[in-house]
DNA sequence: ATGTTC
């Protein structure tokens, strides 16, 4: 708990998890490996820490060098919370669930226009704009369960009667292509002020904005299904890297599954069967947290093991398609439903308790899930045999 | 995480 195991040649690691929070051994191992990477100065781990493909998820890493793998493939992935101008109690959940199936279809909006409005150039991945993607990504209608800090809630215009939409999505194929390109170049680490470092940052920053726009469009599509308008409460990426000038010395602050704690209230989702939280970061309290916060409950069991833990029979599917609050989970992919079952995740209350006890944040409001939408099984699109430029051939 | 299988 708040340990700083100083291994020879390794950067200090601060773990903001109490002994009550389960941290998998492999995640701790990955954390130590990260602390030993070239240029790494400090590592902060959150209680939602769990093992990932290229390194642990749920941590911030301050380094002299940019490590694209520490950001991962879903550059700019994050959480957008939006308030709808409709009362939560007015939503017809079954009707809404039906309409949300439209999110499995490509967005039919004017991609060129929204990109231009956002100041973003076109890429070959723009057809994915407005799509949620797979894995843990979701779009969830929520209602306020409780407001614990009325003054702060009022500052951001929270109204306990309104419905909300929380979107967890990222940069789809775009971010993936950027990491893929870096790995093909064989450069494990980049000098932040070098040409290659700047080129990565340009592509990265573009993907971060693209992902933010993607969440906005997804929220608008969801709002349209509820025949409502929306306004953003806050939107924060949790997979990203930023350059920081520390008195002439440029450093890279990576966040992998960790939200920034220096730009407004942080939406912290639970699993799809629990409350989600909106917290106020108390950044000044702990500089060793690297201006970061937990980004959710964090996985407890890996995806593969969930297929053995959850039977995907009719009765189980029926159970997984409801949440304990009487809400609906829409997911046309039984396998994904099993992988993303609430029991695959850590206890969000434990995670929140930890960040509160370590003085990292306080809870402003809690939200209960009404309707959660997750991607349906990917169906192979017939007839698209036309040879387009391969995404691996793509250059900005 | 990924136009997830070249």
Residue nearest to nucleotide B3 (CA to C1'): A173
Q: Which bases along strand B come within 7 Å of a protein CB atom?
A: 1-5
DSSP A318: H
Residues 6+ apart with CB under 8 A from A192: A64, A65, A66, A201, A243, A250, A251, A252
Residue nearest to nucleotide B4 (CA to C1'): A378
Establish whether the CB of A77 is closer than 7 Å to any nucleic acid atom in strand B: yes
Residue A285 pLDDT class (50, 70, 90 cuts): low
Q: Which of residues 126-145 of A touch strand B (CB under 7 A)?
A: 127-128, 133-137
Establish whether the CB of A76 is closer than 7 Å to any nucleic acid atom in strand B: no
Q: Which residues of A225-244 are buried (b: 16+ CB within 10 A; e: fewer)?
A: bbebebeebbbbbbbbbbee
Establish whether the CB of A374 is closer than 7 Å to any nucleic acid atom in strand B: no
Residues 6+ apart with CB under 8 A from A264: A156, A234, A236
Lowest mean pLDDT, pick from A143-152, A273-282, A330-339, A381-390: A381-390
DSSP A199: H
Helix axes A172-185, A195-225, angle to 10 degrees: 160
Please report the domains of chain A, with CATH numbers, ordered by start residue. Answer: 13-394 (3.90.1860.10)
Q: Which nucleotide is nearest to A388 (CA to C1')?
A: B3
CB A279 within 8 A of CB A355: yes
* Residue positions of A annotated with a catalytic role: 295
| Sign of the torsion angle spanned by Cα atoms A223, A226, A230, A232 | negative
- Identify the CA nearest to A89 among candidates A141, A32, A162: A162
- Taking only the tens place, the pLDDT of each residue in A193-233 is 999 999 999 999 999 999 999 999 999 999 999 999 999 99
Interatomic separation, CA of residue A152 and C1' of nucleotide B4, rounded (Å): 42
Burial of A384 (0-12, 13-18, 19+ CB in 10 A): exposed
* Confidence (pLDDT) at A315: 82
* Confidence (pLDDT) at A283: 76
Q: Taking the model in full, what pTM does it have?
A: 0.93
Interatomic separation, CA of residue A385 and C1' of nucleotide B5, rounded (Å): 14
CB A294 within 8 A of CB A267: no
Give the pLDDT mean for A273-284: 93
Q: Which nucleotide is nearest to A171 (CA to C1')?
A: B1
* Confidence (pLDDT) at A388: 44
Per cent of chain A over pLDDT 70 is 93
What residues form DSSP beta bridges with A330? A373
């Amino acid at each position: 708990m708040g340990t700083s195991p100083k291994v020879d040649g390794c950067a200090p690691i601060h773990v903001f998890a109490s002994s009550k929070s389960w941290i998998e051994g492999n995640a701790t191992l990955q954390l130590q490996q990260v602390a030993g990477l070239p240029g790494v100065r400090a590592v902060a781990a959150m209680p939602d820490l769990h093992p990932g493909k290229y390194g642990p998820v749920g941590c911030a890493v301050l380094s002299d060098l940019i490590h694209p793998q520490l950001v991962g493939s879903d550059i700019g992935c994050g959480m957008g919370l939006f308030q709808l101008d409709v009362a939560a109690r007015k939503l017809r959940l079954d009707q809404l669930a039906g309409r949300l199936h439209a999110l499995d279809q490509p967005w039919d909006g004017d991609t060129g226009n929204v990109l231009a409005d956002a100041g973003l150039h076109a890429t070959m991945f723009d057809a994915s704009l407005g799509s949620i993607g797979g894995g843990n990504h979701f779009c969830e209608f929520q209602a306020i369960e409780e407001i614990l800090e009325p003054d702060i809630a009022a500052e951001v215009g929270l109204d306990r009667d309104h419905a909300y939409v929380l979107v967890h999505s990222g940069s789809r194929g775009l971010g993936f292509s950027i990491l893929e390109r870096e790995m093909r170049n064989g450069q494990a680490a980049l000098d932040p002020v070098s040409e290659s470092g700047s080129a990565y940052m340009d592509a990265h920053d573009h993907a971060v904005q693209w992902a933010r726009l993607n969440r906005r469009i997804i929220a608008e599509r969801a709002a349209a299904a509820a025949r409502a308008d929306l306004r953003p409460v806050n939107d924060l990426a949790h997979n990203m890297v930023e350059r920081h000038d520390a008195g002439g010395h440029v450093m890279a602050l990576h966040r992998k599954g960790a939200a920034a704690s220096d730009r407004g209230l942080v939406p912290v989702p639970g699993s799809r069967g629990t409350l989600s939280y909106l917290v106020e970061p108390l950044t000044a309290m702990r500089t060793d947290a690297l201006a970061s916060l937990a980004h959710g409950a964090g996985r407890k069991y890996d995806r593969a093991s969930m297929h053995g833990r959850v039977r995907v029979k009719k009765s189980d599917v029926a159970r997984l398609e409801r949440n304990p609050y009487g809400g609906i989970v829409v997911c046309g992919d039984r396998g994904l439903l099993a992988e993303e079952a609430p029991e695959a995740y850590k206890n969000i209350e434990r995670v929140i308790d930890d960040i509160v006890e370590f003085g990292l944040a306080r809870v402003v409001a809690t939200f209960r899930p009404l309707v959660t939408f997750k991607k349906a099984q990917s169906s192979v699109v017939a007839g698209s045999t036309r040879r387009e430029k391969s995404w691996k051939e793509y250059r900005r």
